Amino acid sequence: MLSKILQERIYSLAILLIVVTIVASVIFPNTFPTFENLSQILLNLSTDTIVAVGMMILLISGVFDLSVGSVVAFAGCLTAYVLHFLNLPVPVAVTIGILASVFIGWINGYLIAYQNINPMIQTLAMLGIVRGLALLASGSAIQNLPYWFNAISQSKLLGVQMPVWYMLLTIILFTFLVNKTIFFRRYYYIGGNEKAADLSGIRVKKMKVIAFMLSAGLAGVAGVLLSSRLGAALPTMGRGLELRVITAAILGGASLSGGSGKIPGALLGALFMALIANIMVISRVSGYWQEIILGIILIGTLWADKVLQKRFSKI
Amino acid sequence: MLSKILQERIYSLAILLIVVTIVASVIFPNTFPTFENLSQILLNLSTDTIVAVGMMILLISGVFDLSVGSVVAFAGCLTAYVLHFLNLPVPVAVTIGILASVFIGWINGYLIAYQNINPMIQTLAMLGIVRGLALLASGSAIQNLPYWFNAISQSKLLGVQMPVWYMLLTIILFTFLVNKTIFFRRYYYIGGNEKAADLSGIRVKKMKVIAFMLSAGLAGVAGVLLSSRLGAALPTMGRGLELRVITAAILGGASLSGGSGKIPGALLGALFMALIANIMVISRVSGYWQEIILGIILIGTLWADKVLQKRFSKI
Amino acid sequence: MKHLQLNHISKTFPGVKALSDVTLSIHAGEIHALCGENGAGKSTLMNILAGNLQPDEGTIVLDQLTQIIRSPQNAFALGISIVYQHLSLIDSLNVAENVFANDHPVNKFGIIQFGKLYEKTSLLLQRLKLDQITPNTLVSSLSPAQKQMVEIAKALSQKPAILILDEPTASLTDKETRTLFEILQKLKKEGVAIIYISHRLDELFILADCISILKDGKYQGTFLKQNLTKASLIKLMVGREINSLKSESYRQIEILLSVKNLSGQKFHNVSFNLHRGEILGLSGLVGAGRTEIARAIFGADKIESGDVVLNNVVLNTNHPFDTISKGMAYVPEERKSLGLFSEMSVQDNITVTHNNLTSHIYNATEAAQRSVELKDKLKIATTNVQQKVVNLSGGNQQKVVLAKWLLTNPEVFIVDEPTHGIDVGAKFEIYELLKSLASQGKGIIMISSDMPELLGLCDRILVIKKGTLAGELSSAEATEEKLLTLSTY
Amino acid sequence: RSSTEVVKQSIDTEEIKTKNEEYVMVTTAVTMPMYVNHDQAAFKKWGEANNVKVSILGPAEWDVPAQINTIEEVIGTHPSGLLINGTDPALAQVINKAVAAGIPTVVYDSDIPNSNRHAFIGTDWYEIGEMQGEEMVKLINGKGKVAYMGILGLNNMEAGFQGMLDVFKNYPGIELVGKYDDKANVEEAARITSDVLSAHPDLAGVCGFDSNSGPGIALAVKESGKAGRVKITTVDWEPEHLALVKEGTIHMLAGQKRELFTHYGAQFLYDMVHRTNRLSQSDLKAGITSIPYIVNTGLIKITKENVDSFLNNRE
Ligand SMILES: Nc1ncnc2c1ncn2[C@@H]1O[C@H](COP(=O)(O)OP(=O)(O)OP(=O)(O)O)[C@@H](O)[C@H]1O
Ligand SMILES: Nc1ncnc2c1ncn2[C@@H]1O[C@H](COP(=O)(O)OP(=O)(O)OP(=O)(O)O)[C@@H](O)[C@H]1O
Ligand SMILES: [Mg+2]
Ligand SMILES: [Mg+2]
């Protein structure tokens, strides 16, 4: 039983998160377990998590995308540009922003799957290109965006800001899709053994392209939400997000070699890092030490995970 | 014949480099092909290349290390710290700096190979930790270092600054080792098929740890050289270097899945990117187009490479 | 070495007791055959000898000295070398570097002497009569049979005192098999102890001095070849008689599939018809291009010219998906790299194609049901269908690959070396399976290098030579000799 | 190198210069919106006004060694004048190299005192810190919890921190709750701020030191519903900053007159090249420069009172 739980990263991680939360609540009873703090934590990780879902699907099928951080900025800036300079209605602008992101995903996917260009270089190069485009679109920041656009992220439901709900929606939706639909389950086969998947009648290349489009699309959504939340579109948004997100996904059970990972893992991984950061601030760890301690905790966690697995698989 | 050349990345890349050089020399006759400019290009890529050699060996054996950029900063800052605050003699300080880096490599290697912790997260976490240590060691920057320390990189030989020579030395040395000694050949087996390598009696784990120590050590050397060249140790040195270096290595023929790559490829890959950058400086491509153009060129190159391979493999 | 003694070896894996209290003794200069059903524990026992696995109980005694073999390095040091059932070659390197993995010839400075390396390798290759490959050919460009031979060369390069071969002939054709046997006989005379695992029982009676039998991880005894008949051996292995193939034909007049002037990378203008209920054999030497023809028909490789006509409609396919949905199935030769999702469960492996074709929503309970049914139908030996496929024995893995095609209920089965590494029992089960499929009016194209099975099973046999159709023989006229002549001269 | 050589070289370079005259600006983080909209915009404008060629070069990320590499490569192309962003003291050597090559060299923004630059025009980051400190003291009338953030490890920013801390020294009522690294990233700044807010519900003020700090801090404070109550001072006056001052979330901006840096910086170079004001019959022989040695442009203090005039100026 216990060994089963430890085998599944999302369960072991979930347990760990519960433990951390309880401990933190005991030590910092009147700062940590407050509604404001917890809802704010969720709000702050909503962007990362939405992107992480797309990344998780890519990782399941054995690839990854380094350009998502730039796409976040690009989508936000392009949408803002369309709103501000072309005065198109909000829905249109948002659609344009997201479609443009999907298109970027298509380019990555096509060149990687059909022209088999190395994914690492392809998406790294795209990172630079798209960041540049974001800059060209926005010049500096684009300000005073229409009320209805800002409303997307700034309005609240049950006292919690919308991005949190969008995030949860994304998680639930894709958890369902990946567990229950044949279409998405194919990604496990592709990640498991590409050639075998092909010989079993799975159109591997097409599926990969779709995965890239999907993950870029989600990055686009995240970008729109973020700039709506900021009430401005900054070309500097989403810097270094790609590595944060990949880390979250891997923490959540994915692996660069593909075939493994579950959607909720994306949320749990991001949540874990956010909690640690939050607790460090609450316990007054100074800036210099934060990275060091976060790093040590990350490694320590994975290490403990392995050790426990060994221990209990014996039983 | 031609198809053979195109199969081997280092040859096709070498040819490409020659073409680029010729073209650039024709377009910018009195700025590009000058001795200063060319030696300057080499000097500027010396740091990356030395690190790239270590990364190449890691990639050959199927792993990679994201913490090298931070190690560069760390080694520089620690050495400077030892020189400046403990006033130890230069050789001692340099040794300390490099040994410390090797130790970091050992930690990475040990946890990845023996505790099989995910290399991505392990080295990413280490990136944060080591960057933090560099900050602690140096504050903002350590200035006016002893003359003999600066001499390491600032002195010249045949009118060319030392780091270029160290770089060439590294390349030649490791090209020889990797081609001619069983010890380093093993990394091709490990990267090609880890299980099979193990069955063939290769101590895979031990070899991996050594690879990580080696690459961290080279990053340490690069850090010392860089801070000696700057005459100062900055905690911000080597930011984003890891991705640049991995890109260079992959351009040079390595692949994330391991088993392929040749040492000279590290130099050629770095040289290619340096040439593009230099030409953009000379032709005064304004700053915010650089990334876009570099990205497009990178993708274009790899794509052309694939197309040509297909074309000629048919003949 | 004179004498190797295994005492009371036991090994348990999560869920299975692979070996229980196995005692075995092997002498220098003898060829000691080891046989047993799939999953009997043969490979496990050999992996213990080779230092890849540690026994839970029991000791290994070499010349009166108890040895603990912790790692492959230990094994080499003791003069034990092994040809693994699953290839242990590195595709990205050339033949020479694979053969002398980790013990390249070096000078006194530890510098590799590539000259020597290539000499030594080409000598070995000559010994194995592998004239068509050179020391610097990339392993990735070899056919499975050639890979197997290189694997053997690798083991020989160790100059072993104890040589273990785990189903070496599974992917070999007669030509190489003969060469191998000659070499083994020579080694035997030189006093090497040879442990030989195979599911091809005829071989054992040609080659072995004595035969030991494992059943469900238990030692069944060692017998001199003379004291055994094939029947009695099978009875010891399987625990029941196996009635030989009843070879009635289900061939109908109606043509199911016809291949017209098909040309591709490695084959040119191949034409033939496949009738309903027919089992059509493809024979030929290694590298003849049979697999390529199969892949092309199945839509996995590009067709340069020619047509594939199924039920009188021309298929224009650019992906297996099309052929599968039109009712074709392909069991690839290279089980591990092309057929299986090793890290996934038996259930996921069996249901992959089915899911891909049918509904859009995944129904876990149905998938479980279906896979359990097939597990029982094909007698796949595994604790449960959630077990990872890697943990299954070679034979059972092959059954999993077959099972996944039974779900899509195809009309044309293309099976490439379907009985590689499969025990007699299972082999006959698979023959039965193919027969019953034929009786249901399905068409079957069977690529095999095991001539007896071709002769026993097929209604017609096509011989492929250097990518062209060299001849056709009806089951009546076909004999091993005729097949060989057609495929060589 | 003896001074006479310097003279000869610079004199014969002069002929070329007035022929194809070009002024090159080299910064780091060339794509940072603040740089683009102030420094670079003014520099371009100046170029058009005097119809001389101006070029803007430098790495896209904050990467001092890369800026140095660029300068080195530019020196090889002998521009008429060099305008260098004084990002770090480590620039000293390359600046000296430029000067030795006879290229008029002006440093802007932060001074590089230990170099032979011909002139410096900019501000003292220490003063920026002081200004923020004093304003914050006023805003929270000398007591309460204060947090501050920026990019740790950057020379000018550390100077800024120091300036602020030295002010706070005299106010025992002020409690510093932490120094944080927002990595020039809005999301990061927001995350840190909201964590700090939950840790210290009674937080009085936050000081931000890079251009992404402001928007991030403001976002978190707004989302926690404490806008206006938690006092915010920060640097830069991008549109988003101004908007936030206007709405009363940010209370003071310590702005620099960046347009002046590059406008006058370029003008100095121009005057040097054209010897507009000769003080001797060869200023170089005399070893003097005919331009101001140090110019401090002073700071601008933007609060709710005067923000409109800046806003309108932009729109
Ligand atoms: N790593 C493993 N984990 C779990 N079970 C295993 C593992 N390796 C083997 N087994 C099980 O141990 C039993 C013996 O396997 P083994 O490979 O030795 O059989 P075998 O005699 O070689 O069969 P075959 O003739 O098909 O190769 C099988 O039931 C197999 O499922
Ligand atoms: N495109 C491909 N992808 C993967 N494997 C391939 C591909 N093409 C051929 N192969 C493999 O390469 C091997 C070489 O095929 P070969 O030309 O020897 O045909 P063959 O006559 O089937 O040889 P054999 O007698 O070994 O079956 C085949 O076993 C096949 O599995
Ligand atoms: Mg076996
Ligand atoms: Mg074949």
Q: What is the pLDDT of residues A254-295, one digit of tens each?
A: 888 888 899 999 999 999 999 998 888 888 887 778 888 888
Q: What is the pLDDT of residue C243?
A: 60
- Ligand 2 binding pocket includes C333 (Cβ within 6 Å): yes
Q: What is the pLDDT of residue D14?
A: 45
Q: What is the pLDDT of residue C117?
A: 85
State the pLDDT confidence band at A3, using cuts at 50, 70 and 90: low
Tell me which of B168 and A31 has the higher pLDDT. B168
Instruction: State how far the Cα of D222 lies from the Cα of C271, in Å rounded to an integer.
Output: 77
- For residue C134, report the distance from its CA to the centre of ligand 2, in Å: 18
SS (H, E, C) chain C: CCEEEEEEEEEEECCEEEEEEEEEEEECCCEEEEEECCCCCHHHHHHHHCCCCCCCEEEEEECCEEECCCCHHHHHHCCEEEECCCCCCCCCCEHHHHHCCCCCCECCCCEECHHHHHHHHHHHHHHCCCCCCCCCCEHHHCCHHHHHHHHHHHHHCCCCCEEEEECCCCCCCHHHHHHHHHHHHHHHHCCCEEEEECCCHHHHHHHCCEEEEEECCEEEEEEEHHHCCHHHHHHHHHCCCCCCCCCCCCCCCCEEEEEEEEEECCEEEEEEEEECCCEEEEEECCCCCHHHHHHHHHCCCCCCEEEEEECCEEECCCCHHHHHHCCEEEECCCHHHHHCCCCCEHHHHHHHHHHHHCCCECCHHHHHHHHHHHHHHCCCCCCCCCCEHHHCCHHHHHHHHHHHHHCCCCCEEEEECCCCCCCHHHHHHHHHHHHHHHHCCCEEEEECCCHHHHHHHCCEEEEEECCEEEEEEECCCCCHHHHHHHHHC
Tell me which of D239 and D175 has the higher pLDDT. D175
Percent of chain A with pLDDT over 70: 97
- The ligand whose atoms approach the alpha carbon of C199 most closely is 1
Top mutation candidate among C132, C177, C333 for ligand 2, by most atoms within 8 Å of CB: C333
User: Is 80 exceeded by the pLDDT of residue D204?
Assistant: yes
Contacts of residue B41, Cβ cutoff 8 Å, sequence gap at least 6: B271, B274, B275, B278, D73
Q: What is the pLDDT of residue C245?
A: 62
Mean pLDDT of chain B: 89
Q: Does A310 touch chain C (CB under 8 A)?
A: no
- Give Cα B28 to chain centroid, integer Å: 28
State the pLDDT confidence band at B48, using cuts at 50, 70 and 90: very high
Average pLDDT over residues B217-225: 95
- Ligand 1 binding pocket includes C52 (Cβ within 6 Å): no
Q: What is the pLDDT of residues B8-31, one digit of tens each?
A: 888 888 988 999 999 999 998 888
Q: What is the pLDDT of residues C428-445, one digit of tens each?
A: 888 888 888 899 989 999
User: Is 60 exceeded by the pLDDT of residue D81?
Assistant: yes
User: Is 60 exceeded by the pLDDT of residue A230?
Assistant: yes
User: Is 70 exceeded by the pLDDT of residue C256?
Assistant: yes
**Which protein residue's CA is at the shortest distance from atom 2 of ligand 1?**
C391
Instruction: State how far the Cα of A52 lies from the Cα of A242, in Å rounded to an integer.
Output: 9
State the pLDDT confidence band at C85, using cuts at 50, 70 and 90: confident
Q: What is the pLDDT of residues D19-66, one digit of tens each?
A: 678 999 999 888 888 888 889 999 999 999 998 999 999 888 888 888
Q: What is the pLDDT of residues D92-144, one digit of tens each?
A: 989 999 999 989 999 999 999 889 999 999 999 999 999 999 999 999 998 99
- Ligand 2 binding pocket includes C174 (Cβ within 6 Å): no
- The neighbours of chain A, by the rule of 3 or more Cβ pairs under 8 Å, are B, C, D
Q: What is the pLDDT of residue C99?
A: 87
- Ligand 2 binding pocket includes C410 (Cβ within 6 Å): no
User: Is 80 exceeded by the pLDDT of residue D285?
Assistant: no
Query: Considering just the CA atoms, what is the radius of gyration of chain C in Å?
Result: 23
Verify whether the Cβ–Cβ distance A232 to D240 is below 8 Å. yes
Q: Do chains C and D touch, with touching meaning 3 or more CB–CB pairs less than 8 Å apart?
A: no
User: Is 80 exceeded by the pLDDT of residue D179?
Assistant: yes
Q: What is the pLDDT of residue D315?
A: 41
Q: What is the pLDDT of residues C161-192, one digit of tens each?
A: 899 998 888 778 778 888 889 888 888 888 88
Q: What is the pLDDT of residue C241?
A: 60
Q: In terms of CA atoms, which chain B residue is nearest residue D29?
A: B287
User: Is 50 exceeded by the pLDDT of residue D13?
Assistant: no
State the pLDDT confidence band at C316, using cuts at 50, 70 and 90: confident
Residues of A with CB below 8 A from D220's CB?
Answer: 40
Structure tokens at C87: 């290839």
User: Is 50 exceeded by the pLDDT of residue D1?
Assistant: no
User: Is 70 exceeded by the pLDDT of residue D230?
Assistant: yes
Mean pLDDT of chain A: 89
Kindly report the pTM of this predicted structure: 0.88
Verify whether the Cβ–Cβ distance D36 to A139 is below 8 Å. yes
Residues of A with CB below 8 A from B243's CB?
Answer: 66, 124
Q: Does A305 touch chain C (CB under 8 A)?
A: no
User: Is 60 exceeded by the pLDDT of residue D10?
Assistant: no
Q: What is the pLDDT of residues A54-106, one digit of tens each?
A: 999 999 999 999 999 999 999 999 999 999 888 899 899 999 999 999 999 99
State the pLDDT confidence band at C255, using cuts at 50, 70 and 90: confident
The CB density around residue C393, as the number of other CB atoms within 10 Å, is: 25
State the pLDDT confidence band at C244, using cuts at 50, 70 and 90: low
Q: What is the pLDDT of residue C29?
A: 87
Q: What is the pLDDT of residue B221?
A: 96
User: Is 70 exceeded by the pLDDT of residue C246?
Assistant: no
Average pLDDT over residues D303-312: 86
Residues of B with CB below 8 A from D93's CB?
Answer: 154, 230-231
Average pLDDT over residues C261-284: 90
Residues of A with CB below 8 A from B129's CB?
Answer: 291-292, 295-296
Average pLDDT over residues D267-296: 84
Q: What is the pLDDT of residues B90-148, one digit of tens each?
A: 899 999 999 999 999 999 999 999 988 888 889 999 999 999 999 888 887 888 888 88
- For residue C152, report the distance from its CA to the centre of ligand 4, in Å: 19
- Ligand 2 binding pocket includes C292 (Cβ within 6 Å): yes
Greatest mean pLDDT among A143-152, D209-218, D270-279 lies in D209-218
- Of B149-153, C54-58, C153-157, C420-424, the poorest mean pLDDT is in C420-424
User: Is 50 exceeded by the pLDDT of residue D16?
Assistant: no
Mean pLDDT of chain C: 85
Residues of C with CB below 8 A from A192's CB?
Answer: 341-344
Tell me which of C247 and A37 has the higher pLDDT. A37
Average pLDDT over residues B39-54: 92
Q: Up-side HSE of residue B113: CA atoms within 13 Å toward CB?
A: 25
**Which protein residue's CA is at the shortest distance from atom 26 of ligand 2?**
C286
Q: What is the pLDDT of residue C128?
A: 80
Q: What is the pLDDT of residue D32?
A: 83
Q: What is the pLDDT of residue B264?
A: 93
